[in-house]
A and B are shown apart, each in its own frame.
Chain A
Amino acid sequence: MRYIVRRVGQAVITILSVIVLTFLLVRSLPGGPMDYLRAQLMQNRTGRQVSMAELQSLAREYMNLHPGEPIWVQLYYYVSSFLQGDLGQSIWFGEPVSSIIVKAAPWTLFLLTTSIILTFGIGIVLGAVMAYKEGSWFDTSSTVVSMFLNSVPYFVAALLFVYVISIQFSMLPQSGNVAPGLEASFSLTYIGSILEHAILPIASLVVTGFGGIALGMRGNAVKEIGEEYIRVAHLRGISSRRIAIRYVGRNAVLPLYTQFMISIGFMFGGSVILEQIFAYPGLGNYLLTGITARDYPLMMGIFIIITAAVVLCILFADLTYSKIDPRVSTGSGESY
């Protein structure tokens, strides 16, 4: 019980520190957000001077910043409005940041969830088979292939896929999340179009990712197979099939858990570049736009949301881990 409290507390601290961090970062930007805002506004409303008061009210509106007040107060306003769901207004898109996030998040989540499931699914199965056939040519060649694919950065793979499959062979669309103009519905065409557009981005992540998992799984499984209780189980007459699944498989998967958690964070980060390449309207893409357009509210909002998502996922995984691995008591907290 104490462990749960501790972990949740940790998660809360993490999210809060990220909020504070972004807040401070923004304030330390060259020129500061105030000047920037002024410059932006001056660009938009040519010729007109912007008064300090107007600037301040705009700042409050767009970014929940209260310039002129002591820093602690500013921080307080920022955090409190954030927690109330008000993330400010996007300068570039002219919409509330929160609505942009609500629009974009499902797409990113869709891509990432599918990618992680596939990567780990394929990786674990492949790793198990490799361990079973240890030393065979299948094992050696799979090892080399896995290592090689793992050395390719996912965006390199993405570019290559786009090149070969989209442009040269025109088999799959190059960008977007769905064919333009299609009505959102549960119809087969709509869903089919979504899938079509999702294959390449997902493939980039999965093809470059499964190798690492497979190699890890293989190593774990090989170690498991050498364990004494496997021999005892065999002598007890337990079927090879059950040994493979319940003894070797189950126990070999457990250490992959840390990798799983790292992958969650990694993939959220990876979505930034990936969505840019595929012009996929997800969180990563908007984040990038926010950065290049110096749209601070958008930038900060998405960054904080992404972090919060990762933290929550990891927290959830952490708390449920003890259900799977009985060696970990929720009291010790030393789960990885």
Chain B
Amino acid sequence: MSETNETFTSGSSTEQQTARSRRSLYRERLDRYVLTPLRVIWNDWRTRLGTLIILFYILVGTVGVHYISEPQIGGPRLAGIFEAPGYPLGTNNLGEGLMSSLVHATPPMLKMITAGAVFATGIAVALGTVSGYKGGRVDTVLSTLIDIAMTVPGLPLIILLVVTFQPTNPFVIGIVLSINSWAGLARNIRSQVLELRDNSYIEASRIMGRSTGGIVYDDILPNIMPFVLISFVNTARAVIFGSVGLYYLGILQTPENNWGIMLNNAYSAGGALYSWDSLYWIVLPMATIVLLSFGLVLFSQGTERLFNPRIRARHAETIDETSPMEE
């Protein structure tokens, strides 16, 4: 233990020292938790592109809806791309602009994705951590629960639930759609926690008297972050595919717009598959769906690098390689 020699320092400069060190602590925190990850994300072309795509969709869903008016019936019918003025992406058989339809379908989709992903990840982390950490009876019961959730085939169950309860709120729909995907993550988290629980540095934390919450936050969470992120992305994709599929089948109904409904309309009402002319009608929503999924996939593929501490260290600026953050 070092003893600081304070014979020559007055009280105020000690305060100054504390103030200075607190500022540097904040700066280090900012750098470690925010800036460095951002730098790593920017560095890898996959995450960079993926993040841009995702941000684009978020932008369209939040800000874009204000700039682009809602789709209205009555415009020129079945206009192709760039054919009719004011309808850059063409119109459908009712004269609704496709661009505005696509744009206005985005917010509910975003809501569904957020609700589903947050729900699934939250439950998975909670159950997985508790199950792994506690062990014993609790673990057995919870694992069985997780296994059951994992083996019941998702889509049929979701269809059943949707038909029974007919939800219309996008948040609720999002949660229902992700009812299956939390199981995989919970399992992964549980095995990770099981492994980590016996790790020496966790035992050290326990001996030092840190609270369980503290241990979970500092020692366990950073190790499961990669799984969490990947699962977040996978759930998002499952929600997208599931919602589009169900809307396409007509099982989910909503007066609002949705890419799946557009697909359905294009296929059945427009016979879009039967002629080259109306092809754009079905391809555009497809492209929208694929692009968002692609962005998510890119992002998740690239995040593996984010959690590699050596790569983080390379991009950090204020962090000295091995020092812990001063408290």
Give a binary string over A277-308; 1 marks a CB under 8 Å from any B CB, 0 the rest: 00000000001100110000001001100110
Cα distance, A142 to B293, chains bound together (Å): 17
In the complex, the chain A residue whose C-beta lies closest to that of B158 is A269
In the complex, the chain A residue whose C-beta lies closest to that of B291 is A151
Cα distance, A258 to B291, chains bound together (Å): 27
Residues of A within 8 A of B282 (CB): 159, 163
**Cβ of A245 under 8 Å from chain B:** no
Residues of B within 8 A of A316 (CB): none
**Cβ of B65 under 8 Å from chain A:** no
**Cβ of A311 under 8 Å from chain B:** yes
Across the interface, do B159 and A272 meet the contact criterion of CB distance under 8 Å? yes
**Cβ of B163 under 8 Å from chain A:** yes
Across the interface, do B164 and A150 meet the contact criterion of CB distance under 8 Å? no
Across the interface, do A156 and B152 meet the contact criterion of CB distance under 8 Å? no
**Cβ of A148 under 8 Å from chain B:** yes
Q: Within A115-154, which residues are at the interface with B (CB < 8 Å)?
A: 143, 147-148, 150-153
Q: Which of B151, B249, B291 contacts A314 (CB 8 A)?
A: B151
In the complex, the chain A residue whose C-beta lies closest to that of B144 is A10
Residues of A within 8 A of B261 (CB): none
**Cβ of A155 under 8 Å from chain B:** yes
Residues of A within 8 A of B144 (CB): 10, 13
Interchain nearest-CB distance for A204 vs B (Å):
12
Q: Which of A11, A151, A168, A334 has the most B CB atoms < 10 Å from its CB?
A: A151
**Cβ of A266 under 8 Å from chain B:** yes
Stretch in A21-29, A35-43, A54-62, A70-78 touching the partner: A21-29
Q: Which of B151, B244, B251, B301 contacts A291 (CB 8 A)?
A: B251
**Cβ of A240 under 8 Å from chain B:** no
In the complex, the chain B residue whose C-beta lies closest to that of A312 is B151
**Cβ of A189 under 8 Å from chain B:** no
**Cβ of B184 under 8 Å from chain A:** yes
Interchain nearest-CB distance for B191 vs A (Å):
6
Q: Which of A13, A143, A163, A311 has the most B CB atoms < 10 Å from its CB?
A: A163
Cα distance, A150 to B241, chains bound together (Å): 11
Across the interface, do A273 and B152 meet the contact criterion of CB distance under 8 Å? no
Cα distance, A334 to B152, chains bound together (Å): 20
Across the interface, do B155 and A272 meet the contact criterion of CB distance under 8 Å? yes
Q: Within B98-132, which residues are at the interface with A (CB < 8 Å)?
A: none
**Cβ of A268 under 8 Å from chain B:** yes
Across the interface, do B154 and A269 meet the contact criterion of CB distance under 8 Å? yes
Cα distance, A11 to B151, chains bound together (Å): 9
Across the interface, do A262 and B184 meet the contact criterion of CB distance under 8 Å? yes
Q: Within B261-303, which residues are at the interface with A (CB < 8 Å)?
A: 263, 267, 273-274, 276, 279, 282, 286, 289-291, 293-294, 296-298, 301
In the complex, the chain A residue whose C-beta lies closest to that of B152 is A307
Q: Which of B148, B180, B237, B251 contacts A13 (CB 8 A)?
A: B148
Cα distance, A10 to B141, chains bound together (Å): 11
Interchain nearest-CB distance for B33 vs A (Å):
26
Closest 7 CB pairs of A and B: A269-B155, A151-B293, A151-B294, A163-B273, A153-B241, A269-B153, A265-B153
Please name 10 pairs of A and B residues whose Cβ atoms are closer than 8 Å in the assembled complex, sorted by A.
A13-B148, A150-B293, A151-B297, A152-B290, A156-B244, A156-B263, A160-B286, A292-B250, A307-B153, A314-B151
What residues make up the interface of A, taking CB atoms closer than 8 Å to B?
10-11, 13-14, 17-18, 22, 25, 28-29, 143, 147-148, 150-153, 155-156, 159-160, 162-163, 167-168, 215, 219, 258, 261-262, 265-266, 268-270, 272-273, 276, 287-288, 291-292, 299, 302-303, 306-307, 310-311, 314, 334, 336
